Amino acid sequence: MTRGNVSLTAFLWSVIAFLVIYPLSVLVIESFKIAGSTGWGLANYLGFFKDTYYLKTFWNTLVLSTLVLLTTTLFGVPLAYILARYRHRGKTVFTALILLPIVLPAFAGVFAFIIFFGKFGTLNLILMESGLIKAPINFIYGTHGLVFIQSLHLLPFIVLSLSAGFTNIDPAFEEAAEVEGASGFWRFITVTLPLCTPSYLAGAVIVFLWPFTDWLTPLILGKVDFLPSVAYINIAYHFTDMHRKYMGIVAVVVSSVVCIVLFVLARRWVERKKYTGLSKGTTSEGRVIEPGPVIKYGSYLYMLAISFVVLLIPIVLGLSAFSRRWVFEPFPTYWTLDNFRAIFFESPLLIKNSFLFSGIALVFGVVFGLMAAYVIVRTRIWGTNALDFVITLMLAFPGMAVGVSYMLAFWKDIPLATHWIIMPLALFARRLPYFLRMAHSSYLQLDISLEEASEVSGVGKFKTFFYISLPLLIKGVLVGVVMFFIMAFQEISTAIFLYRGGWETLPIGIYLNWHRGMEFGIAAAMAFLMIVITFILLLIISRIGGGIMKAAWGPGPGGKR
């Protein structure tokens, strides 16, 4: 408990206090202000919960969350089981494809599916041309489309956590059930699934919370009666209408509270419920079954179908990106590089901003994350666990809450929002857990005696960190570095509130191009570009799949190394 460690912890806390606690408390305080006066009170909250419209949005969001969770679970359980248990060819490719939506920006999927499933989208046009239908079918606009798009985006979280659960079950538990006479489906229901509940819950809570934070998908699909979308519209479009502004702020606070409470409860529950057997663990592969031909081809078909839908996103965006005037025809006919020329030559600023802001955020994130991981894992200073907790909470915080709170907090008293540095700072604060969780779990796996051995060899603490700890941490930390960058690169919910002319990033560019009704092709090309960049980053670290769950949940149920 040296003085150096104490002042390091104090420094980390002051960063968190300035960039997380202060702005978020400003947000909460703002929500208690009474419009048009200097008074305080619960008026905004009372107004919010008395207004049937806002109550309805709250209810709608809950329903949407439930529907998305049900859908992902229904499709995810068999998928996770197939991936975890069956021996089949192309396992790696299928896994990669099914997990792809995690790293794709959520809005990329929306645009792709509008093009493909829209009223006069590819599918409808094909069906009409073949004479199967007379009028276009509404595949996508409405709650069903929303559930579909969000479910596809979130399916990987369920699949990842469940398949980790399936893999980590000691085969002896299931074998014992079979010896006792419970085989097949009955065994699955009575032993396998219950043993997986902690893993399942870890993924399920992420899925359930998503509709409380995703404002963009409903907005694009024209179905805005959900908490985050209403909050966005009220704050971004009706800032001058005091009542609507405060209703928006209350909506942000309410969804944040829902997210934080559910997230914390789920974590508590997962921690407590982690089943421990006397087993010495299992092989890294877990239990593998050789399925019969029917099940085998059935599962191939199933995986192919889901992979196809996932692949639609980059394919459709690619088609749209390399073409123009793709309207009322199932596939584009006019091919061009114009969209990319527009991006690279007319507005290269967006690309530059994206890399600059994400890069600066990354540098902050890595330096901060390494220091934080060190004090959390290696010291017993008072307050380090709370530090870990606060940072982890940022995983659950809606991006919009960060954006709005920064807008409120760094405007008058601390006018940071007038300088572009606010962009990387906000990205840093929002995406911090992605790197920290990785650094944390790598540090936990770094045997302390490796560091001690260096110290007794006559080498001081500081040099020990650079010659022993850092080289040994690098591998695990690298995954966190790339994850952090990807997540910062595609961030929009926070940035949309903070950007000013000249600070636009690629995601904001995509949104603006759609929103201003400008060329759809440019938006698609930007999204395609982001997918390509993400893909290149993913190639750098191939094992990203387990990575993101690990980022979210530490070394716990996300998977065992």
Q: Could you give the dihedral angle defined by the CA atoms of residues 462, 467, 468 and 471, in that order, rounded to the nearest 10 degrees?
A: 120
CB of 212 to other proteins, least distance (A): 40
CB of 303 to other proteins, least distance (A): 36
CB of 463 to other proteins, least distance (A): 7
Distance, in Å, from the CA atom of 201 to the CA atom of 269, rounded to the nearest integer, reads 9
Query: Residue numbers of the site for other proteins (CB under 8 A)?
Result: 1, 447, 449-450, 452-461, 463, 467-468, 471-472
**Residue among 475 and 500 whose Cβ is closer to other proteins:** 475
Q: Token pair for residue 343?
A: 């991006």
**Residue among 396 and 468 whose Cβ is closer to other proteins:** 468
Cβ neighbours of residue 91 closer than 8 Å, sequence gap 6 or more = 83
Q: Where are the beta strands (DSSP E) in 321-478?
A: 323-324, 334-335
Scanning the structure block, which residue is given the tokens 């002896």? Answer: 172
Cβ neighbours of residue 30 closer than 8 Å, sequence gap 6 or more = 249, 408
**Residue among 56 and 461 whose Cβ is closer to other proteins:** 461
Burial class (CB in 10 A: 0-12, 13-18, 19+), 408: buried
Distance, in Å, from the CA atom of 432 to the CA atom of 425, rounded to the nearest integer, reads 10
CB of 439 to other proteins, least distance (A): 17
**Residue among 134 and 380 whose Cβ is closer to other proteins:** 380
**Residue among 51 and 447 whose Cβ is closer to other proteins:** 447
Sign of CA dihedral 263, 269, 275, 276: positive
- Please, are residues 68 and 150 in contact by the beta-carbon 8 Å criterion? yes
Scanning the structure block, which residue is given the tokens 């290149």? Answer: 536
- Please, are residues 221 and 110 in contact by the beta-carbon 8 Å criterion? yes
Q: What angle do CA 543, 547, 548 make, to 5 degrees?
A: 135
CB of 555 to other proteins, least distance (A): 19
Closest C-alpha among 53, 472, 381, 50 to residue 42:
50
335 backbone dihedrals φ, ψ, rounded to 5°: -95, 140
CB of 468 to other proteins, least distance (A): 6
**Residue among 98 and 446 whose Cβ is closer to other proteins:** 446
CB of 449 to other proteins, least distance (A): 4
**Residue among 363 and 453 whose Cβ is closer to other proteins:** 453
**Residue among 285 and 455 whose Cβ is closer to other proteins:** 455
